[in-house]
Amino acid sequence: MITVSGRSVCAGVSFGPVFVFSREESTIKRRHIESSDDEIARFESARKQAISELGMLYDKAISEVGEANAMIFQIHQMMLEDLDYIESIKNIITDQFINAETAVGQTCDNFVQMFRAMDDAYMRERSADVKDVSERLIKILSGRDDGGIISDKPIIVVTDDLAPSETVQFDKSKILAFVTEDGATNSHTSILARTMNIPAVIGAKGVLNKDFHGKQAIIDGSEGTLYIDPDDTTIAKMTEKKKELECQTKALQRLKGCKSVTKDGQKIELYANIANVLDIASVLNNDAEGIGLFRSEFLYLENIDYPSEDVQFGVYKETLLKMEGKRVVIRTLDIGADKNAAYFHMPKEENPALGVRAIRLCLQRPEIFKTQLRALYRASVFGKLSIMFPMITSEWEILKTLEIIDEVKEELSSEGIAFSNDVELGCMIETPAAAVISDILAKHLDFFSIGTNDLTQYTLAADRQNSEVGEFCNMYHISVLRLIDTVVKNAHKNGIWVGICGELAADENLIELFLAMGVDELSLTPSAILSARKKILETNVSEIRGVVLNKYLERQ
């Protein structure tokens, strides 16, 4: 048995085979060949296999992320049918008597250069697709088995780290757990694992070992441990632990339908964080009282081009309808930093987390912002919609945003399109600037939602993505907790509600503190809702208020 340890980001126990996903660049070996006919036949068979793999990916993606998002795989299939591309590869094989891998590599380089030199931005983007399909062909030709995370049976995924755009390609029903060699507690892979409620461990040094691929393993998410080829004692212990956890989950089911109220009658709303409409099943299953954070940027990350107003309208409408009148807070596009889609053509930045992200991008490119706002307002008649703006640092950003919203509403009215006049507007408080001026911001808004992931990173100057500064990115830091307290007070002084939607909201050690501060709402990963409710039902705030506030806000 081999034991690999890391840090826990999501509890739970899973048994299954390890799938090592390493993103090694392929090195192509140039070889002279005897028969160009045989080599062309080898190329043809690889091409057919690639087309069939892409067909499978398309089918999976369609049921998971919808037709518009699945289209990328069809485009890749079409590229493999492109006569110029095929002819170029065959000519290189015949003229130079070299192996198909090298011919594909050379053709890829030529096509990439050609696409990159084009004036049209859309065509320039296609160079990445040529690279992608060529890489798939080379992998098949060279017999390498690292073509992505595709498996027909459930697996424990072991990798270095995952970009948000990679996670959208998974068949999530086949993922038992994540173990990453790098990664940070509040990276989007960790957030995804918690949303899917599967065990996850990060910072597991040495885990990215090809020899582990296919081996049976057990992951203990709460301990942050992966057991490869587990011995009988470990199997017995983990089987017992899994059963216990299942019993606890079952026991929580009885809290469905209860209000989240403390023993002394203080109410707090428990909402859910989601990234797409598929997550709503889990929101309803865990009896969330609303959606407190819909990260709408995932709609953009899942697409190969800007999602149209109609596509967005469809998604927002479906969300509101499924929530049947419960509050749904949709955050406008928070693209930038680690969340990046190629078609935005964002210039490279030295410090992207301090660069053009979220509201900054929306204000610089109002056409993108307006498309989203139109879709949101059109959907607003189907439920109880609240719109929230990310990465606010100044009052003028809110004023400018409100101006744009007025324009959007005027346009819709003049086109005879219905929208609700009761849409609440709020902003994320996730920069120290916004927290400090929350009394000023509150005058223009209906609510605040505190994003503790970014608030911690910006307050403590510690990159949330960088595991090397993990100990500095401390969400319990007194400065972060004091800022939260300031925001709650400023919100209430101005008569607006305030919630927390960062990962800290799900931290059960802090629920007493948030109750003592008077936070109105916590928005959590859906699977954490019922156990948070249990904690709330067991708490008597008036008894603990003084002690808790003193403990967290007065001492380092």
> In which element (H, E) is residue 407 found?
helix 395-414
Nearest to 341 by CA among 279, 373, 298: 298
**Residues that bind ligand PEP in the complex, under the rule CB under 6 A:** 293, 295, 334, 430, 451-454, 501-502
Q: Please identify, using beta-carbon distances, which residue of 333 and 530 lies nearer to Mg ion.
A: 333
Residue with tokens 């590869």: 89
User: What is 301-312 written as a DSSP string?
Assistant: HTSSSPPPHHHH
Active site residue 32: no
Contacts of 73 (CB under 8 A, 6+ apart): 54, 55, 57, 58, 61
Q: Please identify, using beta-carbon distances, which residue of 64 and 503 lies nearer to ligand PEP.
A: 503
Contacts of 501 (CB under 8 A, 6+ apart): 271, 273, 292, 293, 329, 428, 449, 450, 451, 522, 523
502 binds, among Mg ion, ligand PEP, none (CB under 5 to 8 A by kind): ligand PEP
452 binds, among ligand PEP, Mg ion, none (CB under 5 to 8 A by kind): ligand PEP
Q: How far is the CB of 425 from Mg ion (least distance, A)?
A: 18
Identify whether the C-beta of residue 175 lies closer than 8 Å to the C-beta of residue 196.
Answer: yes
Helix, coil or strand: residue 339: strand
Q: How far is the CB of 430 from ligand PEP (least distance, A)?
A: 4
Q: How far is the CB of 428 from ligand PEP (least distance, A)?
A: 7
102 binds, among ligand PEP, Mg ion, none (CB under 5 to 8 A by kind): none
Q: Please identify, using beta-carbon distances, which residue of 315 and 501 lies nearer to ligand PEP.
A: 501
Of the residues 10, 76, 108, 188, only one is catalytic, namely 188
Q: 112-143: buried (b, 16+ CB within 10 Å) or exposed (e) per residue?
A: beebeeeeeeeeebbbebbeebbbbbbbbbee
**Residues that bind Mg ion in the complex, under the rule CB under 5 A:** 430, 451, 454
> In which element (H, E) is residue 66 found?
none
Polymer length in residues for the chain = 556
Q: Please identify, using beta-carbon distances, which residue of 161 and 454 lies nearer to Mg ion.
A: 454
501 binds, among ligand PEP, Mg ion, none (CB under 5 to 8 A by kind): ligand PEP
Q: Please identify, using beta-carbon distances, which residue of 6 and 502 lies nearer to ligand PEP.
A: 502
Q: Please identify, using beta-carbon distances, which residue of 221 and 451 lies nearer to Mg ion.
A: 451
Identify whether the C-beta of residue 398 lies closer than 8 Å to the C-beta of residue 369.
Answer: no
Cα 117-119-120 angle, rounded to 5 deg: 115
Q: Which residue blocks in 272-394 are alpha helix, DSSP H?
A: 280-285, 297-301, 309-322, 359-364, 366-379
Q: How far is the CB of 157 from Mg ion (least distance, A)?
A: 25
Identify whether the C-beta of residue 270 lies closer than 8 Å to the C-beta of residue 519.
Answer: no
Q: How far is the CB of 135 from ligand PEP (least distance, A)?
A: 30
Nearest to 68 by CA among 313, 373, 333: 313
Q: Please identify, using beta-carbon distances, which residue of 11 and 358 lies nearer to Mg ion.
A: 358
Q: Report the distance separating Cα 303 and Cα 71, nearest Å.
A: 9
Q: Which two tokens stand for residue 130?
A: 């040529």
Q: How far is the CB of 503 from ligand PEP (least distance, A)?
A: 7
Q: How far is the CB of 296 from Mg ion (least distance, A)?
A: 13
Q: Report the distance separating Cα 78 and Cα 251, nearest Å.
A: 51
Active site residue 477: no
295 binds, among ligand PEP, Mg ion, none (CB under 5 to 8 A by kind): ligand PEP
User: What is 125-174 written as a DSSP string?
Assistant: HHHHHHHHHHHHHHHHHTT---SSS--SS-EEEEES---HHHHTTS-GGG
Amino acid at position 349, single letter: E
Contacts of 261 (CB under 8 A, 6+ apart): 267, 268, 536, 537
DSSP state of 187: S
Burial class (CB in 10 A: 0-12, 13-18, 19+), 544: middle
Q: Please identify, using beta-carbon distances, which residue of 16 and 451 lies nearer to Mg ion.
A: 451
Q: Please identify, using beta-carbon distances, which residue of 289 and 430 lies nearer to Mg ion.
A: 430
Q: How far is the CB of 453 from ligand PEP (least distance, A)?
A: 3
Q: How far is the CB of 297 from ligand PEP (least distance, A)?
A: 8
Instruction: List residues with catalytic annotation.
Output: 188, 501
